[in-house]
């Protein structure tokens, strides 16, 4: 006797439908370009800096001003880092930094999802250390920096004024690292004084993570 067909087979389990998906669901589409928009925001994060064979973690805070039109974004930024030493462990004072610069990049809105960003920037970074090992005024040394920033953001509304939050991966490279000389004076057991000298490497490569929040006017 022949087996009767299964009358309760679901339609999507039939051989004709097996493995088929709506092609629209698999597509990632870039949204329409932006009208002129502007924003002001702040970011904070952590980064690790490698200098020769030494590395040290730092915290940073910063501010951004940006303009966006079509798929292009221009940005000016200012960042401050902490010095990274642990005073509770009586570590020698380390260098903090101040960085100011600008960047130009691309903005890619993904329909129904987040926005992607990528930019390449140039900045001037000043390393500062108040220690008198570097002289009565401490250390102040500048380097030129290239910055690569990649991130994702999302805007709260499509209205004229909205908030935007995001997360970023930031990498920087000091283009002209150099050595700063320090001098330490000490008292010998016989009552005479002696000195030791050395150098501190200024500049290196860094990689960090940051989160951001901004207020934005305009856009699509």
Structural domains of the chain, count: 1
Show the 3-state SS of 36-79. Answer: EEEEEEEEEEEEEEEECCEEEEEEEEEEEEEEEEECEEEEEEEE
Per-residue exposure over 25-55, b if at least 16 CB sit within 10 Å of its own CB, e if not:
eeeeeeeeebeebebebebebebebebeeee
**Within a domain: residue 9?**
no
The residue segments making up the domain with residue 164 are 29-178+204-218
pLDDT at 2 over 60: no
We report the CATH number of the domain holding residue 80 as: 2.40.160.20
Mean pLDDT, residues 191-212 taken together: 91
**Within a domain: residue 196?**
no
Mean pLDDT, residues 159-180 taken together: 94
Mean pLDDT, residues 47-64 taken together: 89
**Within a domain: residue 145?**
yes
pLDDT at 116 over 90: yes
Q: Which residue has the higher pLDDT, 149 or 91?
A: 149
Q: How far apart are CA 142 and CA 174, in angstroms?
A: 10
Q: How far apart are CA 196 and CA 181, in angstroms?
A: 11
**Within a domain: residue 152?**
yes
**Within a domain: residue 210?**
yes
pLDDT at 78 over 60: yes
pLDDT at 220: 66
pLDDT tens digits for 9-55? 444 445 555 555 555 556 788 888 889 999 999 999 999 999 877 78
């Amino acid at each position: 006797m022949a087996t009767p067909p299964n009358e309760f087979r679901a339609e999507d389990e039939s051989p004709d439908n097996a493995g088929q998906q709506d092609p629209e669901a698999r597509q990632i589409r870039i949204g329409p370009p932006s009208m002129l928009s502007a924003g002001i925001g702040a970011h904070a994060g952590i980064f690790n800096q490698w200098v020769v064979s030494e590395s040290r973690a730092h915290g940073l805070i910063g501010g951004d001003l940006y303009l966006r039109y079509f798929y292009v974004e221009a940005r000016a930024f200012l960042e401050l880092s902490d010095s990274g030493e642990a005073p509770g462990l009586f570590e020698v004072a380390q260098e903090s930094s101040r960085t100011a610069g600008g960047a130009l990049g691309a903005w890619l809105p993904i329909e129904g999802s987040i926005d992607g960003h990528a930019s390449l920037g140039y900045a001037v970074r000043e390393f500062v250390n108040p220690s008198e090992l570097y002289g009565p005024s401490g250390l102040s040394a500048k380097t030129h920096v290239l910055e690569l920033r990649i991130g994702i953001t999302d805007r709260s509304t499509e209205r004229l004024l909205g908030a935007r939050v995001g997360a970023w991966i930031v990498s920087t490279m000091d283009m002209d690292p150099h050595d700063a000389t320090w001098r330490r004076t000490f008292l010998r057991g016989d009552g005479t004084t002696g000195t030791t000298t050395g150098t501190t490497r200024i500049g290196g490569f860094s990689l960090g993570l940051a989160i951001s929040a901004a207020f934005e006017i305009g856009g699509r």
